[in-house]
Structure 1
Amino acid sequence: MIDTPEEARATSTGTAVRTAPPPAATPAAPRPAGRRENRLRALDGLRLIAALMVACYHYGGRDGEITRAWGSSPKQQFPTLHHLFAYGCLGVQVFFVISGFVICMSGWGRPLRSFFASRASRLLPAYWAAVVIVTAVFALPAVAYKAVAPSDALLNLTMLQQPLGVDRVLGVCWTLWAEVRFYALFALCIVLPGANRQRVILFCAGWTLAAAVAQGVDEPLLTMVLMPEYAPYFIGGVGLYLVHRDHRDAHAWGIVGVSWLIGQHYAVQRLWHAPNPQFFSDRSAVGIILVVTLGYAAVAAIALGRLSWANWRWLTVAGALTYPFYLVHEHLGWVVVEAYHRTLHLPSSATFLATVATMLVLAWLLNRCVEDRLTPRLRTALTRGRPRPTPR
């Protein structure tokens, strides 16, 4: 969800040449850079699809604040489509699988300082901008939605609001907290000692077992660190990156299979007949399993090169818009839906499409005006070591 395939490719391509074993020992030798780029563009497209799934869920697949924006429940606005929109929340699980794949690619052969700089510079500029924009919009007298307290808004800039029990400015930031914990585990266990196949396999197996134990003992600290509910998706993505490096790696396929089995269970357990009345509970267990399976299968197809034909340049742009779109689409979407539907009296379908288009335009502006300018500067500042003292 968070990384850009171009950045990951730059690291992985150079490293694969240095670390890959001889062709005789590896049934599937590293693929040419051009073919890998094709698959990464397909990954960009999949990331955008996952983001649009989540937007469908927030605009038409649940109740809550969006009901105020529409003036009635989305069930009334979309009497047929709301059943499909309710599955859109599973786009988050797809994001996590993609993140496992790309973070493993990005961190392979990269020193810890560089890995930290790439993660921080990728996450923070658009996130800071989104927090400021949403806080400012919600503070307007004409906006009916409640803004968080100024102190809480400032703390949100640290991205630590959830463990500290502070109100969130962005509803979707809970997924970023999961991403940050994944980055920390991967950095400590893989990036710091140096990535290799054996270490990554042990990491995946150890995390899977430890997460199961944490779920069994129900210890809050272990649950927070090991994330039993989300670990299978990250681990599955890491396993699929190993498949990407060697299509016949039986251990990697085993990691993917076990992760899928555990992941579909958690998805069904959490979303089937959800107890919260704000969440539509008319999803079927079979439908949930199908969507989760399609997410794994799509990343697997990319890992195996089956989507190398999807080599359209616009997918790179789509991938760049995904993160800022994901950050702003929910809360600002409430304001935009209300403006289009209740002020301009657009039909529900037109309002939905216009809101998505508006959020994509805002995402483009954030990408061009914030990310393109601040991300490379922040990465350079964080990568640069301490200046050496000038000899006297």
Structure 2
Amino acid sequence: MTSAPTMAKPARFGRRSRVRAAGSGDGQTPRRPRLYALDGMRLLAALSVLSFHWTAYVGIDGIWQGVTPREVLPAVNHLAAYGWLGVELFFVISGFVICMSCWGKSAGEFFVSRVTRLYPAYWAGIGLSTLVILGMSKYARTTAGDGLGAQTVLANLTMLQNALGFRHVDGVYWTLWAELRFYLIFAIVVAMGLTYRKVVAFCGIWTILAVLAPTSGWPLLVTLAMPDESPFFIAGVGMFLMYRFGQNMLLWGIVGFSWLLALSRIGSIQRIYVEVLHHPLSWKVMAGGMTLAFALVLAAALGLFNWMQWKWLTVAGALTYPLYLIHQEAGWATIHFWLTHGLGVRAALGVTLVMALLTAYLIHRLVERPLSKVLKRGLDRSMVSLRRESSTPQAPKH
């Protein structure tokens, strides 16, 4: 759920040049063309998750008038029941993009880039979702507004509501908590200076901790190691290393082992989604969907999508994050509104999708872009001041 910065075809290095490039990490690689394919994948992932919540998830109180989405849209539901796999694709892309975007940057620059990327659209999403939830609670039989007081909303503005013990304003925000934990542990490597060797070591250490965490009895280790999500982030990081430094057996091993771990976690993930779908899911389809998520980003890393230079994908990619933030609670309320005003199911879904895309565009243009610039200017000045104060000798105390 992050943007795709500029890079291009995977570099091809000989043995010696690869070692030199891997050890430098100085960020002197020339600016490369944008990977438009990643923008397209992000939009695909967002629409996949949207389809899951709108036409498969059995948690929409009263919207379908006492029947399940599977009864209302049986053909669509059969496929949409696996739409949550878009989250896994998001995580693989995130591992790739975060490593790419912060290569050669300092820890301060990494911090600024993440704050300016995540928070403006997120704050707008919280505001819109809160207004819609509270406004629609008068007209729809929904429990979405239960416990949604000022304290909960304020806690959500930090994006740390999960750690603070508050509910999410919108259920999809759980993925942002996973992203934040990834940024936190990756920031350690950024602070040390990104090099090929350090990032490979990071992947190996994180993999080991994620494997040991479930049986460790240490809740903090489980929280940080993220056994269910880490294989996707790690694979994305490994794919970026392939993209930047070329392929080798070690990097294929990182990606392949992460894929095996992802498949091994299907059971625990499956139980979560079966509970909200009220019907079984196929292990084979889930495994195939996870494999496809790996394969798509890997194909981009290997240059197989370099022919895809459609600039409209940049706009599509920019809409992905705000669309993801507003689609669930606000989307359900809008669908319910149109259904109660005489539109059929398919028409209500279509109109709501158009409205969601338009709203996402407005958030991007009117909130995300201008507020990100303001935040970046302010935080950049703060970082300059911080570095200046840190380098100024302190007067001796008497």
DSSP-derived class of the 1:163 partner: helix
Whether 1:365 aligns to 2:355 is: no
Percent identity at matched positions?
Answer: 40
Tell me how far 1:362 sits from its aligned partner.
0.6
DSSP-derived class of the 1:64 partner: coil
DSSP-derived class of the 2:169 partner: coil
Whether 1:60 aligns to 2:52 is: no
Whether 1:69 aligns to 2:69 is: no
- Distance in 2, matches of 1:367 and 1:273, equals 32
Q: How does 1:83-102 map to 2 (within 5 A)?
A: 83-102=78-97
Show the counterpart of 2:285.
287
Q: TM-score, length-normalised on structure 2?
A: 0.88
Whether 1:326 aligns to 2:324 is: yes
Show the counterpart of 2:380.
383
Show the counterpart of 1:154.
154
CA contact (8 A) 1:26 1:246 kept: yes
Tell me how far 1:267 sits from its aligned partner.
2.8
CA contact (8 A) 1:172 1:330 kept: yes
DSSP-derived class of the 2:82 partner: helix
Classify 1:80/1:381 alpha carbon distance in 2 versus 1 (closer, same or farther; 3 Å): same
Tell me how far 1:292 sits from its aligned partner.
0.4
CA contact (8 A) 1:70 1:337 kept: no
- Distance in 2, matches of 1:120 and 1:175, equals 16
Tell me how far 1:306 sits from its aligned partner.
0.5
Amino acid at match of 1:187: A
CA contact (8 A) 1:69 1:338 kept: yes
Q: CA RMSD in A?
A: 2.4
CA contact (8 A) 1:100 1:234 kept: yes
Amino acid at match of 1:161: Q
CA contact (8 A) 2:274 2:281 kept: no
- Distance in 2, matches of 1:361 and 1:42, equals 22
DSSP-derived class of the 1:136 partner: helix
Whether 1:216 aligns to 2:218 is: no
Q: How does 1:291-310 map to 2 (within 5 A)?
A: 291-310=289-308
Unmatched tracts of structure 2, length 5 or more: 22-27, 390-398
Tell me how far 1:279 sits from its aligned partner.
2.3
Show the counterpart of 1:192.
191
CA contact (8 A) 1:121 1:379 kept: yes
CA contact (8 A) 2:82 2:286 kept: yes
CA contact (8 A) 2:49 2:86 kept: yes
Show the counterpart of 1:110.
105
Tell me how far 1:143 sits from its aligned partner.
4.3
Q: How does 1:4-15 map to 2 (within 5 A)?
A: 4-5=3-4, 8-9=5-6
Tell me how far 1:70 sits from its aligned partner.
2.6
CA contact (8 A) 1:137 1:143 kept: no
Deviations 1:262-311 (A, max 9, x none): 112213432168552x3243320000000000010000111111111211
CA contact (8 A) 1:41 1:315 kept: yes
Amino acid at match of 1:47: R
Classify 1:272/1:139 alpha carbon distance in 2 versus 1 (closer, same or farther; 3 Å): closer
Classify 1:119/1:215 alpha carbon distance in 2 versus 1 (closer, same or farther; 3 Å): same
Q: How does 1:332-347 map to 2 (within 5 A)?
A: 332-343=330-341, 345-347=342-344
Q: TM-score, length-normalised on structure 1?
A: 0.89
CA contact (8 A) 1:272 1:281 kept: no
CA contact (8 A) 2:155 2:164 kept: no
Unmatched tracts of structure 1, length 5 or more: none
- Distance in 2, matches of 1:314 and 1:23, equals 38
DSSP-derived class of the 1:346 partner: coil
Tell me how far 1:377 sits from its aligned partner.
1.4
Whether 1:124 aligns to 2:132 is: no
Deviations 1:205-260 (A, max 9, x none): 00000111112223211101111111101001000101111332221111100111
Whether 1:225 aligns to 2:224 is: yes
Show the counterpart of 2:371.
374
Classify 1:246/1:382 alpha carbon distance in 2 versus 1 (closer, same or farther; 3 Å): same
- Distance in 1, matches of 2:216 and 2:372, equals 41
One of 25, 38, 41 as aligned partner of 1:46: 41
Tell me how far 1:26 sits from its aligned partner.
3.6
CA contact (8 A) 2:13 2:245 kept: no
How many residues align? The count is 372
CA contact (8 A) 1:273 1:282 kept: no
CA contact (8 A) 1:271 1:281 kept: no
Q: How does 1:142-181 map to 2 (within 5 A)?
A: 142-144=138-140, 145=142, 146-147=144-145, 148-181=148-181
Classify 1:274/1:133 alpha carbon distance in 2 versus 1 (closer, same or farther; 3 Å): closer
Amino acid at match of 1:175: T
CA contact (8 A) 1:104 1:241 kept: yes
Tell me how far 1:31 sits from its aligned partner.
9.6
Deviations 1:59-94 (A, max 9, x none): 0112012x5223231011111221210100111111
Larger mean CA deviation between 42-51 and 162-171 belongs to 162-171
Show the counterpart of 1:317.
315
Show the counterpart of 2:204.
205
Amino acid at match of 2:114: R
